[in-house]
Structures are given as structure tokens and as C-alpha cells.
Structure 1
């Protein structure tokens, strides 16, 4: 065979000759290799599509979520040095605002519409490190006896209410004043710089718990917190929560009843705060799981909840937060309450006594644990090569451990 130029063409090497005979095993390898590459390509494309969808979804919600119209930013309300750098501290406040409830919703939630919008009975800091490797939820009991700038000593949940009430002008101006004073108070108490402020109403809590498909809880005891039962025990009021003991999934109205119950609990408000911390931790685990972040229907439900009943500061970005927690494992989320030194009766009622220095040391050690020092039992071995030390490991370097999901336990 010759080319058009009259010169002979050298034959192709056997392994490149398309006419060469192929073994059956080699053919199968080629087929499976092509299938594998095709599947890999499809998975890559799917991941890109999902990531793009999530990015545009969160960016769209960012444009819709209600914000403090006065451009309130928490950092402007604080003057201390930010010791945790690029980490994020979100102050999440459960606000008893019922202004957006219809008469039917108020009846379903068993709360009425006459409640004020200034009660902040649920307060929590969510600390997320810059690398998004874990998250810590720090519960702030509402009855903590603290110094409120400009007002003196009072319960922590009074800070928002005092500034809200004393501020003249629009509803937004009142909300902003409340958020600013509460931010200052919490920052002074914990030593943390608050990066963002998130305010959730009663309706928002219900809708968010619905959006994540409910939260699993394990109750130690059966519960009857209805008004009728409490009246028979000489107690006024009740959340309406009725449940058997054991594991179950709560959402919607039942979830709200669970976290609002204050009667029939062994430790009163302490147990109520523990319930709120427990429930929000479980809900947060679901939100950061792939099953929620990449489920369009659940994302849309979350978006509706956020758009209807959540207020955030001017600089908050749901897109940035989603990026930061995108690789966060639900098992790396823990929750703790700040320590207190006991109870005391004061001019503002019964309070929990807290020491800011102790609280700040607790918080700093919680989010930035000090390096462990080797104990005598972990000192380097001086035994001969090949022998076994009497006790303890031979390494003296303590490696930081990620948060581990606590063992399942019942809650009051």
C-alpha cells in the first residue's frame, strides 16, 4: 500500500491497529472502563448541577429574607477585640412575636395573639469555625442575672425588651434597638464577638421544624401539660404538650409545645432550656445533612419559613453560611449551656447567678480547647527497644478530636 506521495506507509504497531484481534477479557475491560468513566462524568455533572442549584437557591433566599431596615450590624454594637478571627458567632433569638399570625394559626398554636413581640425566652450562640469542621451551640438561659449596659443588673431576656420599649419611632427602630442592646449584653457576658443576629418568631419555629421533616426526641417520662390537667394539679396554664415516653418525631405544633413546656418538669426552666438546646441541636443536624441541603422540596419549605418569620442583620449571608457548613458532619455538632453558680431572689425575681469571668473562660475553652499537657503516665518511655511500657501510650502529642455525637439519652 502506498500513499498519494508514492512512499510506503509503515504498518501501525499492533497495540494501535484498529483491525487487530481483541481478546474477550480485554474487550470487557475496555467496556467497563468506558462505563466507569461515563458514570464518573455523570456523577460530576450531577454534583455541579446540585451545587449550582444550591448556590442560586441560597442567593435567591438572601434577597428575600427580611432584614433590619436600619442596616443594623452586630459588630457595630461591640468594641472588644475579636479573639476568634474568621470564625462565625451567630446569636439566634427565639422571639415571641405573634404579629404575623392569623387567627387560625394562633388557635392552632394555642398561644393567642395578645402576646408581646419583645419576649426573648430562647437565646443561643452558634459558633462555627472558619473551616466549617464543627459547630457548637451555646445556650444562654433567659434568667441569667447580668449587667445590661445603661440599665444595670437584670435578667438576660430583659435586654431586648428594655431597649425596644424605650425607643421611639418605627417598629423596625424598636427591633433594632432591642437587637443592639441584647448583642452588647451577650458579648460582654461571653467574651465573644457576635457576627450575626438571627431572630425567629413562633411561626418560624413551627415552619422550620416542618421543613426538616421533624426532629427525633427521646422522652424519659410520659407528659401531660394540658391546661385541664394542670388545673387539676392546682397549676395555671400549660403548653398543651401530651406525649408518651420514648423515642418519637416531633414537628409543627407538637414541636412548639415541646420547647415551650415549663410545668411538670423536674428542674423547671432549666429543663425547658435543655429541651430547647436539645431540639435546636437536632434540627441543626438535619439542616446541614445532605438530605436537607440537596432536597429541593425541603429547601423550598425552609425558604418559605425563613422568608415568613425570620429577621437577620444587614450583613448576614445565607449563601456564605451554606458554603461554610457545606462539609459539616451532623456528628460534629454539640451543645452546651453556660455555667451558673446557683439561684437567687432579687428585685427582678428569681435569677440564675452567673460570673462573667467564669462564663468567658468556659466559652473560650469550649471553642478553642487548650493543648493537652502530657501527664506522668504519658511521658516518653525509657524502656529498651522492643519492650512494652508499663502503662499509657508512648506518644506525648495530644491531637485535637472532632466533636462526637453524644450517646442517645432521654430528656425530661
Structure 2
């Protein structure tokens, strides 16, 4: 049984630190968040990657990754009871089923997030073409296999080095597909998402129709509802019995992210000692970020995210449900079209008004999808609403 992880978990962990700083919450608390996050030097070792996109200074591009790892962020296997709660005890593969690029302008203007479908078929360095969600996993597997043959007998060491190699290849694949230079990396696993939704008291969603899927554990009525824990996982990983399969699931993930951000900011999580402790526990067990990501600096850059005003997009595809030579269902893309679409949606990192206006007028974006799920909703940093243009979450399939 395949598992997918919600797009927004990494963003929520980072956003919590941003809100702490913006609200003037104690520096000690911000430090507690930073100390809870596990780090990786994956981007440090990316400096020698050939043909990497150029780095610019006008915005921060963060690669957000949802991992279905059956270990916690320290590499410790999750107990069977936890796997049963996650409804994933039958799966032992490692996939990154949620991949999103988040651009946060340094001037505090609107952020943009672009999702990459998990089944997107891409070349994997030193391997063959595979679904993009397997780039991390296959690289980790072959790296661990090679290390064992070289005499590295310590499993924990092989896991650590395998994870590092997997992250490095995933970053490289994303950069080559989108043309975006990854400035920072943030990864969250299944367990953290489960814990986070419990801490914030669930997330409000709405479905157009009742739906079920035994593979994901989804079984939901039509209409608005609040979900958390295993139900929240099922909501965002359901692929069967919803329109457009993986693309339909991305729509769910995006609307869930918007609702989760709103709930995080309005639930008093950051001012309630018990909830904050729960958040820090979730972060320590599930979040991995690159060691160059300074949450305090990101907080100043991410103030515009506090109202949940993020525009979402999904890369354009040329085929859904195609089959590769092994009979696997894949999503095909035109790499040039993807790069053009991403450049149009994200814009230049250091745009000028003339350049931006000319680009928008003369170079229409290829046929991807863009949506806004914030509904104009704005919340104050202490959780109280300032203006609400839409009541309740938007309904999706």
C-alpha cells in the first residue's frame, strides 16, 4: 500500500517558528523550536552539482518534502502500534509522495507554492527513468547496498548515509525538472503529520461527495467536517474514487494546507504551553531541515504567510495514467514546458515592475493549474480574525 504525506507539514513546522518571531514571543521559545529540528548538510554537498540553476538573492526557494519513512527523524523504527495508527503497517518502502517548491519573497510579498505529482516520470541520476517519488528511495537503497558491500556493517550508519544520498538526488532531480535553485530543504515524515494534526485539534475540510477508499483508509461523508490523525492522513493520500487520481489528490493536499495553516494560527498553539510542547515533540520526531536554514531569518521573510495567503499551482502534465515499460502508471511531462510554467508562476527572484508586466502580457503560462484556497481570509497573529471573505473551507472532490 502506497502512502502519501500532506504537502503542508514542513511548511507548518517552519511557519510556527515564523509566527513566534513575528509576534514577539520569547527568543527562548524560538530557540526551543530550532533546537527541536533535526538538520542535514544535504545542500552543502550540492555545491558541485553540474548544471545547477543559478542562485539569486531576491527570494527563498524551499523544497518541502513529505516522506513516508517508517522511522522517526533520528532513524529509529516506529513501533507497530504507531504504524497501525498511521494505517501504513503493511508498507516498508520509502517514498517522497509530496514534493512542493515554496518561494518566499524577501520583501514579504505573496508566496507561491508549486506541487509536483508523485508519479511524474523523470530521469534519476546514475539510474533509469522512475517516478519522482522514488528518487530518494531507490538512491537510498542502492547506496546502502553498496556501503554494505564495502564493509560498512553498522545499519544506523548505512541508513544515515543512504538518507543523505537520497536527499541529494531528489534535490538534483527537482532542480533539473523545474529550473529552480533550491535554497533550503525541509522534510517531514508521516508520524509528524499525525502528531501535528492532533496537537492543533484537527483541520476543517469539506467534500462535495461522500467517498471511500480501503487502500488509504478513507471513509468520509459529504460536507464540512473536522479530521485529524489517521483520518487526516487518509484524506490526503486517497487516490482511488476521486477525479483525476494523483492530480485530484494534490488539490486536496493544497486545500488541506490552507486550512491547517489557518487552524495553527487560530488554535492558540503557540501561546498554549501544552500545545506548544506537543508541537515541539512533533517537530523533534519528524522534521529534518538543511543546516543553513535559520528559522529566525526565515521568520522575518515569511511574515506575509501569516494570513495563509499562498497561491498554489501544479506543474503542467502531458499525460495521466500512461504506462512505462514495466507496466507502472505514470504521469508524463514536457520538461521545457514545466520550466516555462514554473518561471511564469514564480516570476523572477528579483523582478522589476516593467519586467514582470512584460512577462505577464507576452508570455502566457503553459496549461498547468493555479488555485487560491485562502479565500481572502486574514487572521491576526494572536489568532483572532481581522477579515474573512469566505466562511468555512472550500469543498473539493
1:179 to 164, 167, 192: 167
Structure 1 counterpart of 2:280: 303
TM-score with structure 1 setting the length:
0.71
Cα distance 1:163–1:339, how it changes in 2: closer, same or farther (>3 A)? same
- Does the CA contact (< 8 Å) of 2:22 and 2:299 recur in 1? no
* Structure 2 Cα separation of the partners of residues 205 and 216 of structure 1: 15
CA distance in 1, matches of 2:244, 2:226: 23
Q: Give me the CA root mean square deviation.
A: 3.0
* Alpha-carbon distance between aligned partners in 2 of 1:374 and 1:321, rounded to the nearest angstrom: 28
1:207 aligns with 2:192: no
Aligned to 1:4: none
Equivalence for 2:333: 354
- How many Å apart are 1:190 and its aligned residue? 0.7
Q: Check conservation: 1:89, 1:194, Cα contact below 8 A.
A: yes
Q: Which is higher, the Rg of structure 1 or of structure 2?
A: 1
Helix, strand or coil: the match of 1:372?
helix
**Using a 3 Å threshold, how does the CA distance of structure 1 residues 152 and 285 change in structure 2: closer, same or farther?**
farther
SS of the residue corresponding to residue 197 of structure 1 reads: strand
Deviations 1:271-318 (A, max 9, x none): 122222222233234446695555544433221111011222222223
TM-score, normalising length: structure 2: 0.73
Equivalence map 1:3-152=2 (5 Å): 51-53=24-26, 55-68=27-40, 73=44, 75-76=46-47, 78=49, 79-82=51-54, 84-99=56-71, 100-112=77-89, 114-116=90-92, 118-152=94-128
Aligned to 1:371: 356
Would the alpha carbon gap of residues 185 and 249 (structure 1) be closer, same or farther in structure 2, given more than 3 Å must change?
same
Q: Which has the higher strand share?
A: 2
Question: Are residues 195 and 75 of structure 1, via their aligned partners in 2, closer, same or farther at CA, if it must alter by over 3 Å?
Answer: farther
Q: 2:244 pairs with 264, 267, 275, which one?
A: 267
Q: Which residue of 2 aligns with 1:405?
A: 374
Moved more, 342-351 or 291-300: 291-300
Identify if the C-alpha distance between structure 1 residues 83 and 318 changes in structure 2 by more than 3 Å, giving closer, same or farther: closer
Conserved? CA contact 1:289–1:330, under 8 Å: no
Q: Secondary structure at the match of 1:137?
A: strand
Q: CA deviation at 1:129?
A: 0.9
Unaligned runs of 5+ in 1: 1-46, 228-237, 376-402
Question: Deviation of residue 211 (structure 1)?
Answer: 2.8
Q: Is residue 21–residue 296 contact of structure 2 (8 Å, CA) maintained in 1?
A: no
Asked if the contact 1:206/1:251 (under 8 Å) is kept, the reply is yes
Alignment size in residue pairs: 326
Change in CA separation of 1:139 and 1:285 when aligned onto 2, cut-off 3 Å: farther
Contact 1:123–1:139 (8 Å) recurs in 2: yes
SS of residue matched to 1:149? coil
Name the counterpart of 2:378: none
Alignment of 1:207-246 (within 5 A): 207-225=195-213, 227=214, 238-246=215-223
Shift of 1:341: 1.2
Displacement, 1:74? 6.9
